[in-house]
């Protein structure tokens, strides 16, 4: 294990709360593998302090960049001076680079990371219906990634109707051939995605009843901090289950290239 020194640089991942954040155990070793003296540190930042925290840390040359997770992705978008195409469509940012002039440049890599993970696991079939539960920051990014990846049929479910209707309208505007519906059913699903925070705590309810999923349906639960009850229940039915760690691993090279400046918006 390498310890940081005064010459090391830090990528901060902001969450609220942050006790569930598992990302540093994957990011820091990846940085070392790439020959970077970088370390990731998780930090609990209340939403009201996000802007001042980012602006203060961005002034230090020891800060390599920022990673945003629940609940900060929409607010981080508003803080950026410039954003990439995915972030512009989704209205969220999960990655911020600090440029030489202090400008904050943001992008969203959740959708691309999700799609790459689903493809690697062999669970992305563009001809089968994908059901995404959740239209928050992660849900918007995942739906956008699926649409950009050539998915033909998408169903989006959300506890509150407003965000899902707005997302569906934006997707229809950019992907007119994409079949989108908002009906709460799962009988034709080839892939079911939990894009909510349900499962972070052991006491959380399941995002849906796994008994409603077809026997050949795959499941992608984006929670990376723990093996959730939803994952266990779906696996018990014999369904193929992929967790959020796969999504993290696929985002690692994308975000690192962005922080280094190799990936321009």
pLDDT of residue 241: 98
140-159 b/e with 16+ CB inside 10 Å = b? bbbbbbbbbbebbbbbbbbe
Ranges of each domain in the chain: 9-109+251-260, 111-246
Identify whether 165 is preceded by a cis peptide bond (ω within 30 of 0).
Answer: no
Fold designation for 9-109+251-260: Rossmann fold (3.40.50)
Q: How big is the chain, counted in residues?
A: 265
Model-wide pTM > 0.85: yes
What is the C-alpha end-to-end distance of the chain, expressed in Å? 34
| Active site (catalytic) residues | 73
Which CATH architecture describes the domain 111-246?
Answer: 3-Layer(aba) Sandwich (3.40)
3-state secondary structure of 192: strand
Both tokens assigned to 27: 């990011």
List the beta bridge partners of residue 133.
157, 194
pLDDT tens-place values along the chain, 265 residues long: 688 899 999 999 999 999 989 999 999 999 999 999 999 999 999 999 999 999 999 999 999 999 999 999 999 999 999 999 999 999 999 999 999 999 999 999 999 999 999 999 999 999 999 999 999 999 999 999 999 999 999 999 998 888 999 999 999 999 999 999 999 999 999 999 999 999 999 999 999 999 999 999 999 999 998 999 999 999 999 999 999 999 999 999 999 999 998 877 7
pLDDT digits (tens, 9 = 90+) for 74-104: 999 999 999 999 999 999 999 999 999 999 9
Give the whole-angstrom CA distance, residue 47 versus residue 71.
8
pLDDT of residue 173: 96
pLDDT of residue 263: 72
List the beta bridge partners of residue 220.
193, 242
Domains 9-109+251-260 and 111-246 share a fold: yes
């Amino acid at each position: 294990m390498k310890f940081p020194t005064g010459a090391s640089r830090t990528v901060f991942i902001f969450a609220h709360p942050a006790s569930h954040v598992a990302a540093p155990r994957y990011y820091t070793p990846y940085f070392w593998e790439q020959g970077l003296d970088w370390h990731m540190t998780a930090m609990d930042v209340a939403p009201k302090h996000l802007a001042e925290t980012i602006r203060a840390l961005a002034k230090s040359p020891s800060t390599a960049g920022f990673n945003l997770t629940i609940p900060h992705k929409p607010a981080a978008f508003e803080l950026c001076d410039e954003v990439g195409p995915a972030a512009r469509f989704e209205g969220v940012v999960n990655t911020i680079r600090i440029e030489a002039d202090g400008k904050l440049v943001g992008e969203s890599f959740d959708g691309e990371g999700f799609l790459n993970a689903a493809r690697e696991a062999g669970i992305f079939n563009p001809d089968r219906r994908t059901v995404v539960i959740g239209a928050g920051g992660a849900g918007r990014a995942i739906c956008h990634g699926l649409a950009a990846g050539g998915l033909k049929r998408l169903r989006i479910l959300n506890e509150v109707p407003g965000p899902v209707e707005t997302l569906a309208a934006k997707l229809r505007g950019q992907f007119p051939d994409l079949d989108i519906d908002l009906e709460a059913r799962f009988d034709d699903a080839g892939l079911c995605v939990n894009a909510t925070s349900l499962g972070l705590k052991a006491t959380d309810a399941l995002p849906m009843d796994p008994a409603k999923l077809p026997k050949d349906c795959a499941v992608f639960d984006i929670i990376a901090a723990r093996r959730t009850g939803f994952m266990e229940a779906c696996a018990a039915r014999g369904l193929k289950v992929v967790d959020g760690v796969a999504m993290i691993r696929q985002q690692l090279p994308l975000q690192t290239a962005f922080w280094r400046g190799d990936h321009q918006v």
